[in-house]
Amino acid sequence: MTPMEASAKDMPKGFVHLRAVDPTILQDIRYATPQNFVGKRLPGYDAAECVLFGKAANALKKVQAELRDEGLALKVFDCYRPARAVSEMVRWAKRSANRETRARYHPRIAKSKLFPRYIATRSGHSKGTAVDLTIVDLAKRRAMGADTELKTCRNGKDFSEKSAEMDMGTAFDCFDPMSQTRASGLGQLHRNNRNFLVTVMKRHGFKNYAGEWWHFTYVREVPPKSYFDFAIPALGENDKSN
Domain that holds residue 207: 3-239
For the chain, what is the mean pLDDT? 88
How many domains is the chain partitioned into structurally?
A: 1
Tell me: pLDDT of 20 over 50. yes
Cα separation of 126 and 82, whole Å? 6
Residue 70 is among the residues annotated as catalytic for this protein: no
Rounded Cα–Cα distance for residues 139 and 3 (Å): 29
Give the residue among 91, 83, 48 at the shortest CA–CA distance from 224: 83
Residue 217: is its pLDDT beyond 80? yes
pLDDT at 4 over 80: no
- The rounded distance, in Å, linking the Cα atoms of 217 and 97 is 30
Q: In angstroms, what CA-CA distances link 32 with 22, 78, 82, 85, 92?
A: 20, 9, 11, 10, 16
* pLDDT reading at 63 higher than 50: yes
Q: Is pTM, for the whole model, over 0.85?
A: yes
Q: Is 70 exceeded by the pLDDT of residue 241?
A: no
Please answer whether residues 25 and 74 qualify as being in contact, where contact means their C-beta atoms are separated by less than 8 angstroms: yes
Domain of 23, CATH number, reads 3.30.1380.10
The residue annotated as part of the active site, out of 88, 212, 221, 237, is: 212
Q: Quick check: 173 pLDDT over 60?
A: yes
- 3-state DSSP assignment of residue 43: coil
Q: Are 154 and 168 in contact (CB under 8 A)?
A: no
